[in-house]
Amino acid sequence: MQDGGERMVLNTQQFRLLVDPLFGSDVQSQPSASGDPQAILELSYLALPSDSPVWLGLDSVGQPSLTAGDTRSKTSLCCLEPVYHTEQPLLVFLCPRSDRQQPSHPRLNGQPAPTVAVLGIGDQLQVGSHVLHVTIYNQPVIGAATDEQVGRDCAYCRLPIAAGATIYHCPCGAILHSEAEATDSADEPLRCLQNVTLCPACQESIRLEKGYLYEPAL
């Protein structure tokens, strides 16, 4: 498996905090990509950067907000940092111990948040009167191989990636052939992606749809 560096550059999966509309917020909207006409059409969310920690807090009007940087502001309640150097993306949660007895102390899944935790899809954070649902927005990448990827082995057929080949980028860093036409007129096109449902490298499901991996029943 490749290390997380390439994964973060590709940014195929992004942690987001969906703001429960029952508590009201207008942070940022993204149409639901499930294709279900009965699905939620718009979801307010906070998008976490893939390459740095952020502080979660409440702004001047009491809305949840993110602040980049290592320095905690007066309105910051906890720190969140995505980690992509594993097969499964993780969201590290840090909350100053000194704030645990304060009314503003965040709650995790209905309980006072611990000092340190690892969050996953479906976990809930409460800051102030707002409930935030942890999820991941999937943005699959299929495109031409870069110069750095030419010569690397396809995770399925183990053949080297040729210049001009179309490939699929798994969030774990693996790459697979996904050619519509052969790169050489004498060869059959390599459609390795179409032959599998799990990534051969990380064994996670291959998701080609753009959208949330989890949407709460709001």
Instruction: Name the pTM for this structure.
Output: 0.74
C-alpha distance from residue 92 to each of 9, 13, 117, 119, 138 (Å) = 19, 16, 6, 6, 19
Tell me which DSSP letter residue 153 carries.
B
Q: Tokens in use for 77?
A: 């309640």
Mean pLDDT of 187-198: 87
Closest CA to 82 of 206, 198, 171: 171
Query: What CATH number does the domain located at 4-139 have?
Result: 2.60.200.20
Quote the CA–CA distance of 15 and 134 in Å, as a whole number. Answer: 7
The residue with greater pLDDT, 21 or 144, is 144
- Comparing 93 with 73, the larger pLDDT belongs to 93
What pLDDT, in 10s, does the model give residues 23-72?
Answer: 554 444 444 444 454 444 467 899 998 888 999 998 888 889 999 877 77
- Of 161 and 182, the structure prediction assigns the larger pLDDT to 161
